[in-house]
């Protein structure tokens, strides 16, 4: 059973705290977006987007727990899979003749 609706302090439930945590992750993601925009190399951008993707997965999971929506976790799993594939594929195809992996 979920404990998301247990009150923690000042009338806020644990779910609210998790939502706040997710908001914190969004703020941190904005910082990483800086690297994705500035680069300078292609690999820097891929790396930043990969980290952003991992962040998104955590945000999705936190929202799923806070709002009691377990289906969000399925989306998070698919997102994690796609994120991994993205990093591998871009690394592979930015190198000439694809020597990576």
Partner 1 sequence: MALDALDPITAARVVLVLALLAGALFFTFVSMTGVIRLPDVYARAHTASQADTLGAGFGLAAVALTLGWQGASVKTAILLFFVFVTNPTAAHAVARAAFEDGNVPWTEGDERR
Partner 2 sequence: MANDRVVVPIEDTATLRSTVAHVVGTAADGDVSAIHFVYLAAWREDDPRIDDRRRTARTLLEQAADWARYDLADADVPEGTVDVETALIAEDVYLFGPRQYADRLHEYADAHGIGTVVLDPEYTPVGNTTLLQPMEFELASTPLEVREAPVDRPSRRERLVSEITGPRFATVFGGSLLFYLVLGDPTSPFDLVTGVATALVVAISLSQVSLDHDPTLRDSPLRLVRGVIYVPFLFFEIMKSNVVVARVILSPSLPIEPTMTRMRVFVGSGLPVTTLANSITLTPGTLTVRARDADLYVHTLIPWAREGLFDGGLERWTRFVFYGREAARLPTPRERDDCAVLQGPDADEPMPFAATDGGREEGLNGIDADETVVEADADETGSNETDETEDRR
* Residue ranges that bind partner 2, judged by CB under 8 A: 74, 77, 95-100
Residues that bind partner 1 (CB under 8 A): 1-4, 6-9, 14, 17-18, 21, 24-25, 28, 31-32, 34-35, 41, 43-44, 46-48, 50-51, 54-55, 57-58, 61-62, 64-66, 70, 73-74, 76-77, 80-81, 83-84, 87-88, 91-92, 94-95, 99-101
- CB-wise, 2 or 43, nearer to partner 2? 43
Which residues, at least 6 apart from 63, have a Cβ–Cβ distance to it below 8 Å? 18, 19, 22, 69, 72
Burial bucket for residue 65 (CB in 10 Å: 0-12, 13-18, 19+): buried
């Amino acid at each position: 059973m979920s404990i998301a609706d247990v009150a923690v302090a000042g009338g806020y439930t644990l779910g609210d705290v998790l939502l706040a945590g997710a908001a914190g992750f969004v703020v941190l993601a904005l910082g990483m977006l800086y690297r994705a925009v500035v680069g300078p190399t292609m690999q820097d951008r891929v790396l930043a987007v990969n980290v952003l993707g991992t962040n998104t997965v955590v945000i999705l999971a936190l929202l799923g727990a806070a709002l009691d929506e377990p289906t969000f976790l399925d989306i998070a799993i698919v997102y994690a899979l796609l994120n991994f594939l993205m990093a591998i594929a871009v690394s592979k195809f930015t190198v000439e003749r694809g020597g990576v992996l």
